[in-house]
Chains A and B, each alone.
Chain A
Amino acid sequence: MGNRTVIPFGPQHPVLPEPIHLDLVLEDETVVEAIPRIGYIHRGLEKLVEKKDYQQYTYVAERICGICSFMHGMGYCMAIESIMDVKIPERAEFLRTIWSELSRLHSHLLWLGLLADGFGFESLFMQSWKLREQVLDIFEETTGGRVIFSVCDIGGVRKDISAETLKKIDNIMNSMEKEVKEITEVFLHDSSVKMRTKGVGVLSKQMAFDLGAVGPMARASGIDLDLRTTGYAAYGKINLQPIVEQDGDCYARTSVRMREMFQSMDIIKQCIALIPDGDIKVKVTGNPTGEHFTRVEQPRGEVVYYAKANGTKYLDRVRVRTPTFANIPALLETLKGCSLADVPILILTIDPCISCTER
């Protein structure tokens, strides 16, 4: 038995987008155990419901995270709409779906860039983020902001997209498909990328189920778990198949996210073809009473919103359980047995979004 040393990883590290701390227990360069420590971005957002009323809280909810910002706002609005029994117009459902899938596309492109940066492939990182700029320009043109949209509201959406802009988005999707294909060829077939990701951090199907993994982390190990099949928003009207791989290593997780990007572009084109005309918002009056659980599929996995209201304009409780919170135990399990140089790649494969985790 070799000597055991404890090395602190984080909170500041070049590969981490947000601070998280891990104490790695090493035995001669192989990691034996990892103890997490989170809490660097805890802002107490769940306690803010006592001071902001339920309509002002939409703006707080979408600022929980910068990358998955639209889906936080949408999940909160869906929870309040289910409590108040409000049915939103069909055009608003399709618009929400289009913005959700664009969010997923930009989040996966961001993650691909970070992964390439993680093993030192800087030019691939720059190319991925260059493609992401086109998606951010679509956001600014339709909603007014690149990262925080402020476009989802209780009862529908605030802004409409005109028919010419929809046609423009369609053309951009077609041209982006060719450009993204060039990048993904590098990720899937380049020998240096394959050597760093194949066989690293294997998570078997039984372990992934026992540890409660969600999102692409679970789908890469063979578990068929995708919340979009439940049919919220407009997902009931378009056809989509969850993307599942069997290997469970880093290469499989990269491959799942890449195929999801192409699937997102396809879903956006389907939505643009099917979108009906009509209103975008329904007027909502009164205060909510009751409680509801809402589950939405974010780019990182399954997020659960729980809202409880008591008839006044201040809510009793809002609880957000984000996917990174559920993937941390799976991360700790994959870290056992890997070598020290693989630790940054493994942390990046769960797609950590720590500001979501700690609200």
Chain B
Amino acid sequence: MSILSMSKTLFKNLFHGPYTTLYPIKPKENFERTRGKIGITVDDCIFCGMCERRCPTGAIKVDKSKSSWSIERFQCIQCNYCNEVCPKKCLRMENQYTSPANEKARDEYIKCTNTQSPSE
């Protein structure tokens, strides 16, 4: 039976600094494999619709007639299934998270089929 069993840990903690980072003043660096959000190089996309069919939450919408690929940012669960089934490998998983916002956002990417530079 001991009473002061935590004293060794307490003594060490007196001289150690804080164990936490001062977020958001100091930014947190994510690891390389962190699943943050989905990004697309829309020039390679052929609008086949495989990612739309496989998405478990239905966050992706593909419109072949308008050449647009859109994703509902807050419905995406970052599972990476769309990336695995894409035949042209134009999707990638980026390691920064979507920043918090007050309203739901649908990001749309349109592929320009004329000679001008592509718009995002």
* Residues in chain A within 8 A of chain B (CB atoms): 52, 56, 59-60, 63, 123-124, 127, 130, 140-145, 148, 150, 158-159, 182-183, 185-186, 189-192, 194
Contacts and interface: CB of A to CB of B under 8 A. Distances in A.
Given A56-B81, A190-B3, 7 more contacts: A59-B77, A60-B56, A130-B19, A141-B33, A150-B78, A182-B8, A191-B2
Contacts of A142: 33
A143 B33 contact: yes
Nearest to B34: A144
A190 B1 CA distance: 6
Contact of B93 (A123, A144, A190): A144
Contact of B54 (A56, A130, A150, A192): A56
B80 interface: yes
B50 to A, nearest CB: 13
B31 A191 contact: no
Interface string B29-42: 01111110000000
A141 B5 CA distance: 34
Interface residues of B, number: 24
B2 A190 contact: yes
Nearest to A188: B5
B79 interface: yes
Contacts of B114: none
A60 B57 CA distance: 10
B4 to A, nearest CB: 9
B9 interface: yes
Nearest to A186: B5
Contacts of A150: 35, 78-80
Interface string B92-104: 0100000000000
Nearest to B35: A144
